[in-house]
Amino acid sequence: MTNKTFISTIFIIGLIFGQAYPPPTDLITIPTAGTLARGSFSMDMRIQDEGGMIMGLSAGITDRFQFGLSFGSPNLIGDDSLRWYPRPEATVKYLIIDESMSLPGVSFGINTQGFGNFHTDDSLKRYDTKAYGAYLAASKNWKSPLGNMGLHSGINYNFTETADGDTDPNIFFGLDVELNPEFSLLMEYNSALNENNMTAKDMSISKGGYLNAAFRWSFVESLHLELHFSNLLFDDEKVDYFKREIKITYIEYF
């Protein structure tokens, strides 16, 4: 084996089996089985349509358990009367089963933070897109020549936004693919099975669930910038465009 062949072989092996990439704790909206490492914290800011903004703070209490709070406004930026969400929302996640070569990781969590406007003036008492509530999420990650690739799925039940009369469980799934060490492609599908009764149909702007896509740019190790294209299966009888949003995430250690 020549030196050139030897170096090329080592380079390819390093790409495939080298650095262990930390899995994401969530994709665009759906949770994954990943959790923050002990002693780390993340701050994120989601800039929504119509000038809305959600600020979140989460911390890794142990390598299996993380806790966080979020709060925001559906119209923080704009010229309308400022409205805030009715309460801070909570996120809790515990890693039940570690991911292995043959089995996915599994986490149980609670996330009460929905997206978009919160309807307080009618009987719905819910966000435009419901929070995930209590959920079980499973994730399996692989190393490819480009980087990390992960598949994620789960089932959830929203126990806080039930005034619309729809208490069905819901399913979701998604994937993330690293294109290179800086850029990742994210895709997810939220089936929105808990939005299928008549009152929810009147306000829902999705057609057959929420299909979302995003680009994530990790231009430094602890800072991520995401461009979201949300609700790609929009109901063209109610809206004539999908949503464009931005999310900024900063991760650091205590």
CA atoms within 13 A on the CB side of 21: 26
Q: Per-residue pLDDT averaged across 82-102, rounded?
A: 95
Express each pLDDT in 103-122 by its tens digit: 999 999 999 999 999 988 76
Residue 87 lies in a domain: yes
Pick from 7, 8, 29, 21: nearest CA to 187: 29
Q: Per-residue pLDDT averaged across 54-74, rounded?
A: 96
Here the CATH number for the domain that contains residue 48 is 2.40.160.40
The residue ranking higher by pLDDT, 57 or 11, is: 57
Instruction: Report the DSSP beta bridge partners of residue 223.
Output: 220, 250
Percent of the chain with pLDDT strictly greater than 70: 85
Q: Note down the domain range covering 153.
A: 29-253
| Model confidence band, residue 203 (pLDDT cutoffs 50, 70, 90) | low
Residue 121 lies in a domain: yes
Residue 8 lies in a domain: no
| Model confidence band, residue 205 (pLDDT cutoffs 50, 70, 90) | low
Report pLDDT for 20. Answer: 43
User: Would you say residue 189 has pLDDT above 90?
Assistant: yes
Residue 50 lies in a domain: yes
Residue 17 lies in a domain: no
Domain count, the chain: 1
Q: Helix or strand or coil: residue 84?
A: coil
Percent of the chain with pLDDT strictly greater than 90: 63
- Contact, 231 vs 213, CB < 8 A? no
Q: Per-residue pLDDT averaged across 46-65, rounded?
A: 94
- Contact, 188 vs 216, CB < 8 A? no
Report pLDDT for 66. Answer: 97
Residue 194 lies in a domain: yes
Residue 22 lies in a domain: no
Residue 16 lies in a domain: no
Express each pLDDT in 215-249 by its tens digit: 999 988 789 999 999 989 877 767 777 889 999 99
